[in-house]
Structure 1
Amino acid sequence: MGEERGFDGGQIARHIVFAVVIGAVGAGASILLSLAVDLASSLSSRFSWLLFALPVLGVLSLFLYKLLKLPVNLATDTVVNDMRANRRVPAALTPGILAGTCLTVVGGGSVGKEAAVMQMGASLGATVGRPFKLYAVRREHRREGLLEGYAAACGMAAAFSALFFAPLGAAMFVLELVRFKGSVARHAATMLLASFVAYAIAKPIGIGDAIPAVAMPALSWETMAECLVVGLACAGAGALFAAGLTGTRHLMRTRVGKPLVVVVVGGLIIVALVLACSWQRFEGTGAPLLMGALAGHAGSGDFAVKALLTVLALGFGFKGGEIMPMFTIGALLGCALGQLAGVSAPFLAAVGMVSFFAAASRCSLAAFLMGAEIFGLAAVPYVAVGVAAAYLGSRDFGVFGHGLVSHLVRLRTRARAAAQRERSALSGKEVQ
């Protein structure tokens, strides 16, 4: 009896309804996190002494994770790995990362909320998706079982779209994070629907990370060359940032292995650096620094300071996200290069923002789409050059692991090895 094939109308309907529901839920999660983190940022700015509480706040976040029965090392990279493997993302992650991010920001830790909202979205997607009993819409793919990873991916894309007002970039970002994994890629249409539903709800409300427009210069060889230089600078800086963050995380998780000690020591190091070097303006998500860079204001070494504090905060186990810091670091670097060359600093800050993100995340298509959605169609040629230079000019390993290039190379190597084994087997049979 042949395998049953074709589309399942019932599953198609379930996927569509689920996409609409998780789009609305993701928008709500984004708005809630934005309000909470904004409150935490205002408290940190108003009461500067809260910086001294950072080690204690880090410990509280770890105790919260233990109370919620969450792995204390759970972060964006581990959530992405669970999605790739079609493993269930725990429901308790939603309150855990929400409270953990706020605790870090209150204490002045250099973390963002974009990756935090992605973790919330993945958790909510997996939770909301369970009653829908989502299987593949094509009957011949039913052997994949319940689509836990796909449900989490839909929630992640929806929440990020609502926070950043970039539905195309959000959907592509998640696709690249899961390396276009079969079950997620085959249902990309409904994931895109969830992203647009979340965007349609959040955009009129206006609570999220709205990035201001930047004036684009006339297209010329000189401006394209400037974008190339910024992209190559972001390639090197992005590779160093990714290596620093992943290396620190690996060292603290595997060699030290004592999360409470790690977070206390990390907190004390951050407090000492901020006080000794008067780095108070580098605390928190970095949104004010990003806005300043896009207005043409940045110090020559600001990007390095923000990168260092972010590596220390996230590497030593504080809860929060890495995406807004990556945007900020790239914008500061682009702005500094613009000031050094005596050209439009806001323009190069915009190019640097998406280029650094492409290099550090290894998600070049998402970076390009987000650049186009944020800065408009006039920015497309400049963003394309910067992102391409940043992505191709650095090694293919980032904050979330290897990029699509390495993934495709591995798949090709496996295919060649399988073909070679098959040829060897056939040759053996012929000899017999």
Structure 2
Amino acid sequence: MKHFRQFEPFIALPHLIKWLPISFVVGILAGTASAALLVSLEWATDWRESHRWIIALLPLGGLLSGWIYHQFGQTVEAGNNLLLEEIHNPKSIIPFRMAPLVLLGTDLTHLFGGSAGREGTALQMGASLADQLTKILRFKGANRRILLTAGISGGFASVFGTPLAGTVFGLEVLAIGKINYDALFPSLIAAIVGNQVTLLLGLHHIAYLHSPSIPPLTILALIYAIIAGAIFGIVARFFAQITHKISHLFKTKISYPPMHPLMGGALIAIIVGLSGTTKYIGLGIPTIVDSFSTQLPPWDFAAKLGLTALTLGAGFKGGEVTPLFFIGATLGNTLSLLLALPVPLLAGMGFVGVFAGAANTPLASILMGIELFGLESGLFIAISCVVSYLFSGHSGIYTSQRIGLSKYSALYLEEGVTLANYGREKVKPKIDLPDDGKERGSKSI
């Protein structure tokens, strides 16, 4: 074994040669799918804003979306959670129909006036298209896991224009506190290629704000940043929990699945009609942009949080991340009234901080903040993301996400437990007590 180490570079070369062309193909598939998504969402948003009466038909749009999935998409209904389950516990190739179904479902959500994002759609299209290569390449085990991870990275990078964040997101989202680096090179190539494909197809990503005014990192500024990060994490935790509770409520009270988005759509349409504004539905990009330069109403983040949780909890298709950007940026904007940090900086910190806490991906979120807002804001961005990650606890928007390592050294959690199972009676955490060396609880699941 000692002499074998000198031959490791000869193992690395075949690894690169093997995965370079495969990752290129995955990136092309993910980037093309994301381009189609971005174009269709732009059309849906513009048409809705020009014909706002269509929001009154949101219940019918929800019924149509729910019926389509009930008839043709029950095997892919779990969405992003299905991707995570297949990576951790592979059973069968993800059906190709996941890609067109989630694209259609997301477009219907935005056309009729639901509040959702686009990341979930991009991940599902990227991974499901990538998994079709499994049939051709006859991949199993680790190779298929790497392939799916690269598809997730390609989808994330291409829809947001952040290849570095996309690379790490695909690795980091699988399990809290644990990263498998054998998929690093394929994920990087897929993310870079996916992003370049969208650019070559003429798509341009939103420029929120580059290089906001950065104050010196004094002790007081550090404290303010930590306070902001803690608030972002608590809000992220609340968003994830309320979304899951609404989903559970619909599933337990209404037996016919297509009725979930119909009833949820009716509630959303009534709320939007009474509010007299459409700023809290769709992606909410204009408000996100405004949060960096204009003092916004302090309730903006709460309104978006509520409508998004209701939209996704009722079963409408779409992602969580862009609404999380909205929630975080407007919350940061509001915190500028209490914390002596510049508005653009706090908006940027919230933009990625709430996402870091809700998705349990602090490293990817830090990279995204740097890619979007510049290296100068990196320290504040990092503080926001890490503290938010800690304060969101072991909860998150992806219930199939595994616990690889507890967020806190004093709390032992069994590796492999999903967020869906964490907190149930059969999962008993063990708390280390360093003063007497004793432990409480049980490892058993």
TM-score tier (shorter): 0.7 to 0.9
Q: 1:287 aligns with which of 267, 280, 285?
A: 285
Structure 1 length-normalised TM: 0.85
**Cα gap change, 1:44/1:237 in structure 2, threshold over 3 Å: closer, same or farther?**
same
Letter in 2 for 1:326: L
What are the residue-to-residue correspondences of 1:230-241 with 2, within 5 Å? 230-241=228-239
Q: 2:86 aligns with which of 82, 89, 98?
A: 82
Aligned equivalents of 2:36, 2:404: Cα separation in 1: 32
Letter in 1 for 2:330: L
**8 Å Cα contact 1:73/1:253 also seen in 2:** no
**Cα gap change, 1:342/1:189 in structure 2, threshold over 3 Å: closer, same or farther?**
closer
**Cα gap change, 1:32/1:341 in structure 2, threshold over 3 Å: closer, same or farther?**
same
Structure 2 length-normalised TM: 0.83
| Residues 1:28 and 2:12 aligned together | no
Q: 1:104 aligns with which of 83, 104, 109?
A: 109
Q: Shift of residue 248 of structure 1? A: 1.8
| Residues 1:219 and 2:224 aligned together | no
Match of 1:50 in 2: 54
**8 Å Cα contact 1:124/1:152 also seen in 2:** no
Question: Gaps (5+ residues) in structure 2?
Answer: 1-6, 418-426, 431-445
Aligned equivalents of 1:99, 1:273: Cα separation in 2: 24
**Cα gap change, 1:208/1:63 in structure 2, threshold over 3 Å: closer, same or farther?**
farther
Aligned equivalents of 1:312, 1:160: Cα separation in 2: 24
**Cα gap change, 1:359/1:11 in structure 2, threshold over 3 Å: closer, same or farther?**
closer
CA deviations on 1:88-136 (whole Å, 9 max, x unpaired) are: 222101100111100000111000112211111111111134312335x
Aligned equivalents of 1:210, 1:22: Cα separation in 2: 26
Match of 1:38 in 2: 42
Aligned equivalents of 1:412, 1:178: Cα separation in 2: 10
Match of 2:304 in 1: 306
Match of 2:433 in 1: none
Match of 2:136 in 1: 131
Match of 1:138 in 2: none
Aligned equivalents of 2:347, 2:199: Cα separation in 1: 24
Aligned equivalents of 2:405, 2:178: Cα separation in 1: 17
Q: Shift of residue 400 of structure 1? A: 1.1
Secondary structure of the 2:413 match is helix
Aligned equivalents of 1:180, 1:283: Cα separation in 2: 30
Match of 2:22 in 1: 18
- Out of 180-189 and 35-44, give the one that drifted further: 180-189
Match of 1:174 in 2: 170
Letter in 1 for 2:52: S
Aligned equivalents of 1:190, 1:181: Cα separation in 2: 21
Aligned equivalents of 1:129, 1:209: Cα separation in 2: 34
Q: 1:388 aligns with which of 380, 386, 389?
A: 386
| Residues 1:199 and 2:204 aligned together | no
Match of 1:68 in 2: 72
Aligned equivalents of 2:248, 2:283: Cα separation in 1: 23
What are the residue-to-residue correspondences of 1:134-149 with 2, within 5 Å? 134=139, 144=141, 147-149=143-145
| Residues 1:410 and 2:414 aligned together | yes
Match of 2:124 in 1: 119
Aligned equivalents of 1:404, 1:232: Cα separation in 2: 22
CA RMSD between the two structures = 2.8
Aligned equivalents of 2:190, 2:145: Cα separation in 1: 15
Q: Shift of residue 265 of structure 1? A: 0.9
Q: Shift of residue 286 of structure 1? A: 1.6
Q: Shift of residue 296 of structure 1? A: 3.0
Q: 1:366 aligns with which of 355, 364, 367?
A: 364
Match of 2:98 in 1: 93
Letter in 2 for 1:171: T
Letter in 2 for 1:150: I
Letter in 2 for 1:241: F
**Cα gap change, 1:293/1:181 in structure 2, threshold over 3 Å: closer, same or farther?**
closer
**8 Å Cα contact 1:86/1:150 also seen in 2:** no
Aligned equivalents of 1:148, 1:409: Cα separation in 2: 27
Match of 2:4 in 1: none
**Cα gap change, 1:181/1:301 in structure 2, threshold over 3 Å: closer, same or farther?**
closer
**Cα gap change, 1:276/1:366 in structure 2, threshold over 3 Å: closer, same or farther?**
same
Letter in 2 for 1:282: Y
Identity %, equivalent residues: 26
Q: Shift of residue 225 of structure 1? A: 2.7
Aligned equivalents of 2:12, 2:182: Cα separation in 1: 14
